[in-house]
Amino acid sequence: YILYLALKAQNIPKADIERYVRKWYVMSVLTGRYSGPFESYFDYDMRQLNSQGIISYSESIFNGELSDAFWNVSLPLGMDTSVYSSPFCVFLAAQIKLGDLGFLSSDIKVRELVEVKADIHHVFPKDYLKKNKLSRGQYNQIANYVVAQSEINIAIGNKEPRVYFAELFEQCNGGRKKYGNICDIVKLKKNLKMNCIQEWIENMTIDNYSDFLAKRRSLMAQKIKEYFEAL
């Protein structure tokens, strides 16, 4: 809001104010720019903004803070967490902005699911991971989260991925519907891509969990980058 007021006082066009505020907010959430001594950091930013102008200063900050190294290394590493309010909230914003469908949904979008407080589903089910002796911090990784319809979440239960995905592929080959209404292999693969899930999920067991998390963090980071660049 302070940034908005500062740009308004500088007579920046309204459309540009909206764009700069959006991008600055997302940047600050992703980098934790104001998670420490807020007053000193923000005071510094406001002084630089007033002296350099929003175009010059924002470009220097975005290019410095959100370099290729950030998107390819720092952000994926920062997503090694179980804190829901971390970059996962930005990932959901990215899915909403890009019009993505919910996990294994044929028609219902993430936006609609978030609005009705749909389930946060574990791709590797929580109970399955607990039975394999994983800790809370391990099974509640944000890279293991997707937004799903309640009925899909319930149907999956505690099955390991290779079991319920085998049934999904059977469903896409004329078998009985068990998980949502996707009955086409092309649509299934497209849905997995929207949700940043590797296609070889169909063969995964507990032994693949760490590799799954690492790869999905990278895919999620790239979706967030696409979202940020479109703001």
> Residue 48: which residues within 8 A CB-CB, separation 6 or more?
57
**Average pLDDT of the chain?**
92
Q: Which helix (H) or strand (E) holds 85?
A: none
Per-residue pLDDT band for 219 (boundaries 50, 70, 90) equals very high
Q: Considering the chain, what percentage of its residues have pLDDT values greater than 70? A: 100
Q: Which helix (H) or strand (E) holds 146?
A: strand 145-148
Using CB atoms within 10 A of its CB, is residue 122 exposed (0-12), middle (13-18) or buried (19+)? buried
Three-state DSSP state, 177: coil
Q: Per-residue pLDDT for 7 more than 80? A: yes
CA distance 129 to 114: 25
Query: Where do the H-state alpha helices sit in the chain?
Result: 2-9, 14-31, 38-52, 54-65, 68-69, 75-78, 87-97, 110-115, 126-131, 136-139, 150-156, 161-171, 185-194, 209-230
Q: What is the mean pLDDT of residues 129-139?
A: 94
Three-state DSSP state, 158: coil
Which range in 36-40, 156-160, 173-177 is most confidently predicted, on average pLDDT? Answer: 156-160
Among the ranges given (27-36, 88-97, 105-114), the one the predictor scored with the smallest mean pLDDT: 27-36
Per-residue pLDDT band for 37 (boundaries 50, 70, 90) equals confident
Q: Per-residue pLDDT for 218 more than 90? A: yes
Q: How many Cα atoms occupy the beta-carbon half-sphere of 158 within 13 Å?
A: 8
pLDDT given for residue 34 in this prediction:
85
pLDDT given for residue 160 in this prediction:
92
Q: Per-residue pLDDT for 120 more than 80? A: yes
Q: Per-residue pLDDT for 108 more than 90? A: yes
pLDDT given for residue 17 in this prediction:
94
pLDDT given for residue 145 in this prediction:
96
pLDDT given for residue 118 in this prediction:
74
Q: Judge if pTM exceeds 0.75.
A: yes
Task: Answer yes or no: are the C-beta atoms of 217 and 78 closer than 8 Å.
Answer: no
* Length of the chain in terms of residues written: 231
Q: What is the mean pLDDT of residues 102-113?
A: 95
Q: Per-residue pLDDT for 42 more than 90? A: no
